[in-house]
Amino acid sequence: MSHFLVLTGSAEFEHRLTLSLDTAHELQVLGAASASGTAADVLSRNVSGPIDVLVIGPDVVTEHWFRLASALDVDYPDIVMVLAAPSNSELTLAALRSGIRDIIDPDSNATQLSLALERASITAKSRKHSDDSQHTQPRGRVISVMSPKGGVGKTTVSTNLAVGLAKTAPMGAVIVDLDLQFGDVASGLGLEPNYTINDAVSSAASADSMVLKAFLSPHPSGAYAMCAPLRPAEADLIKPAQVANLVTQLSLEFPYVILDTSPGLGDVVLAVLELATDGVWVCGMDIPSIRGLNHGLEVLRQLDLMPPSNTLVLNFADKRSGLTVKDVEATVGLPVGMVLPMSRSVPFSTNAGIPLLQSGRRDPVGKGLRTLVEKLAAGSVTPSSKSSRRRVAVS
């Protein structure tokens, strides 16, 4: 049995819903005015069992259902939301981004309404089953590639890791571009994605891993990519909780999930660090980069958000810089696991959209990246069971 909660003051719409549902489902109706309250207020008025499907009636004003749906999508992701409204492209896009699962025409006949509600019921059951299975299903490695400073070659390392790990586990590696405003994973891999992360977190993919895979971009190496939004403004529509859910889904489907994070320690980076099994820290051989990394590591140690396994990659290494590997290690408190020298092959690779480990070019940087891939592939780290923590502002 599925429990449907309906927000409507329309007796006609309520009657049509009643006719469309069989006795195997339970229907509870609240007035349209209920939608003006918070998500918790609405659910507190539920007098039956756990809600599976929330139906928003055609008489609920736009600003009310949009705000309510957005809140429910974050705080109660196991509830499937259906909107009754005449559909158009603008409404559909806004509804999907707010977490609405389906849009039904309020004037549909009983058969059409019944099919739409049955789809919602099946989706609700699959979400609950997915939540239960996550406690027992083994997760893949979540490798977070990070740097508090930009311009240190983080995306170069990330894309090569994805290509390299895909060779060790064919079709078993996926890279996620979490630089949501200015990500370059698509460019670095020579991809023109049909879908981006914005599509994946704003649709049925957020509850169905099979649907999610359709939003990934395949790469000739055998890796997959979840690319950043095409327009920087779309990054504001993506919430940290949605990204964390996406990473969790992918870790249940792929042995390796590589996260190319944005510079700094924003909310999205902090959210995915809860899930990371491995941290790959990329640092340039210059004082600002080293100091930035040191400050970032200090913050994460205070928040207890350091991944179980950590590797420091020293990029653009140059003996003539006046710094040594020991200087870097003494400052940041981590041993340098890989040193990548300056190389003219890297910018050529970046501009061509062909990672070094894909082209097979003989180069000291390519050799170092292959060694890094081998070390990560050989490692075996149990995913951390860190509990969610209240975030503090990190400036």
Query: Per-residue pLDDT tens for 2-20?
Result: 788 899 999 998 888 888 8
Answer whether 58's CB lies under 8 Å from 10's CB: yes
Mean pLDDT across 363-376: 91
pLDDT score recorded for residue 190? 94
**Any idea where the domains of the chain sit in the sequence?**
2-133, 141-378
The mean per-residue pLDDT over the stretch 241-257 comes to 90
Q: Which of 283, 292, 284 is nearest to 312 (CA)?
A: 283
Q: How many residues does the chain have?
A: 395
pLDDT of residue 204: 67
- pLDDT on residue 319: 80
Q: Which residue has the higher pLDDT, 256 or 211?
A: 256
Instruction: Quote the pLDDT of residue 385.
Output: 42
Which structure tokens are listed for 299? 């913050």
Q: Comparing C-alpha atoms, which of 137, 9, 126, 111 is closest to residue 61?
A: 9
| Average pLDDT for 260-289 | 90
Identify the band that residue 141 occupies on the pLDDT scale cut at 50, 70 and 90.
very high
* pLDDT number for residue 387: 40
Query: Which pLDDT does position 171 carry in this prediction?
Result: 86
Q: Is the pLDDT of residue 353 over 80?
A: yes
Amino acid at 237: L
CA distance 312 to 164: 18
Q: What's the one-letter identity of residue 190?
A: G
- Higher pLDDT residue, 262 or 119? 262
> Is the pLDDT score of 130 beyond 60?
no
Q: What tens digit of pLDDT does each residue of 42-70 get?
A: 888 877 668 888 999 999 988 888 888 88
User: What CA–CA distances, in Å, run from 350 to 133, 160, 280?
Assistant: 40, 11, 20
Could you tell me where the DSSP H helices lie in 134-275? 154-168, 185-188, 197-201, 209-213, 240-251, 267-273
Between residues 165 and 344, which one has the greater pLDDT? 165
CA angle 15, 18, 22 (to 5 degrees): 160
Asked if the 2-133 domain carries CATH number 3.10.20.30, the reply is no
| Mean of per-residue pLDDT scores for the chain | 84
Q: Supply angle C-alpha 284, 286, 290, rounded to 5.
A: 70
Long-range contacts of 40-48 (CB under 8 A, 24+ apart): 40/75, 42/5, 42/7, 42/68, 43/76, 46/5, 48/3
pLDDT value, residue 227 = 93
Predicted pLDDT at 1 = 65
Segment 334-344 shows an average pLDDT of 89
Q: Which residue has the higher pLDDT, 254 or 126?
A: 254
Taking the CB of residue 298, how many other CB atoms lie within 10 A of it? 12
pLDDT at 247: 92
- Where residue 383 falls among pLDDT bands split at 50, 70, 90? very low
**What would the mean pLDDT of 350-378 be, rounded to a whole number?**
89
Residues linked to residue 386 through DSSP beta bridges, in sequence order: none
Task: Please provide the DSSP assignment of 29-49 as one string.
Answer: EE-GGGGGS-HHHHHHT--SS
141-378 topology per CATH: Rossmann fold (3.40.50)
Q: How far apart are CA 34 and CA 63, in angstroms?
A: 13
Least confident residue range of 79-83, 230-234, 319-323: 319-323
Tell me what the mean pLDDT of segment 287-314 comes to.
Answer: 90
